[in-house]
Structure 1
């Protein structure tokens, strides 16, 4: 593997986009449909699982410096037992990647390119993601640093311009159906997007500069930014769309379509469209990088770039064959995906953390 390196700030931006990149498209609609006005509480509750995952990742990064999740899992529990952990772990990006591209492809199909075949849209996204991964993590980090800032600025501008349409009274009552919908929303939000924090364990070894404290500050700060962003988008969507928020797809895009200031600033939905497309493209690229790197380490390949295009092609086929109906996709996202995130991402990293803790205590006891 080439000695590619990225800085702390670049890592923090990659971390943010790996969480918020595609979630900003659908999170308000899917979560509000379940948790209603208390969706922001669901997001806060779900973020605790990201904090748990981040604590484990930072601890393991200190104990196994320079190693990825795939590598220190083998060191912690052995080569053969590690397969029971790493193979399910790799199934998460394998399923997540076609879902992300299918989602943004559907966005294109519904809003902008209604006559274009979905397969062609997905193909273009996978090709761009594969070419970017082939360029390496350093190129990704430098390019995405600008694109992440552009995405945040676009979203903020939209939320400010649509502010004349805000109705704060739509936020009340906070718990119209009790606390059970909030827990359901937290369950969905736990994987959409917070369990994805574990995928960061494949990128941390590429980071240079700063000690453990600086790294922790950057990542915890990034997680706070992600939580605030999702809450802002959700609350603003509810204040504009009211009770129909849970039924409106791509709410940020729909908010942009409503902007009209003195007949001078209007029809700025392309601004939001570009932000959503860029966010999904960046997240898809990061997920593809994690998948490619993980499989290359599992198979003991010397160069991960050799399998970028084959894996991109496989996931492209998955994006066109996994679901026959829209309802199947929604079931995966709302029911199965959260269970996969906890079982195949959080549980493995927690297991390796506990094993490492016991090993370190046993080693100190023998000294």
Structure 2
């Protein structure tokens, strides 16, 4: 099968999905390919900050996502020995300290809105295998497989929006540096107790950051930082002492934790790192989101940065097609607008992680 489009986007996460929608809205033909068969699956980075919210509002999408279901966080709390030590509330003029948006809700809105455009096509269960290049080395499309079917998609630009282990980045041979953060992350999800309020709660468990994120739909997501590479060793130890520490830190969770977290198998391991690419663009190619700049979970910047990437990149691409220019020089405008901001956020993550324990040093009145 041979297909053609102005832009081929590899990766149908929030950033790639929003970019596809924005380009289709601007009369460019778009094919979005995603290796997974469905986007109705569990995600971990699901918190919007003010920047991500602003992007969705700018394009009239926030209200549609709100109708699908989201949850505003009332406050951030720091707990110690089962009691609140410090509380961070919304700044003056703001209504929340973050928004939980199930990504299935966000993606369903983005793809539903994109379906309104005949020039937009979504291909799930499609895995990129090769970049197509012309004699001068410019990227002119991809080769992919959907089941046993071989597909060639010819396009003026290919976008790598395929995450931290980006196939597009690898195929384009774009060098990148990996930054260790010294920890990995264990995730779990449990039903929230009756009366649980929409909060983000932080504590120290075994001298490591332990966070609770209230989720839409009546759940609490648990995130526990552990020493990098230590999970195989932890799994060999008794699970009971850890559970005792968790319930001591958050007594309200005792019943739910005991019912739904009964072994190390109830956690999902995320190996934490961030990364910086030598360049985000080549002729006919651009990387965005985690493919360009993997971020750690701290501060939930990842999804928000990807949404802003999509906004800026869409503007640069639309301008490029007006002038018939999809060169690295044109696409570099996007990178120059975003790189300093993103790397500043990455540095902020490192500082926050290094200084996390200070939040528990001295009681601060609410």
Question: 1 or 2 for the larger relative contact order (CA 8 Å, sep ≥6)?
Answer: 1
Shared fold per TM-score greater than 0.5: no
Normalized per residue, the structure richer in helix is 1
- Normalising by structure 2, report the TM-score: 0.29
Which protein shows a greater Rg? 2
- Normalising by structure 1, report the TM-score: 0.29
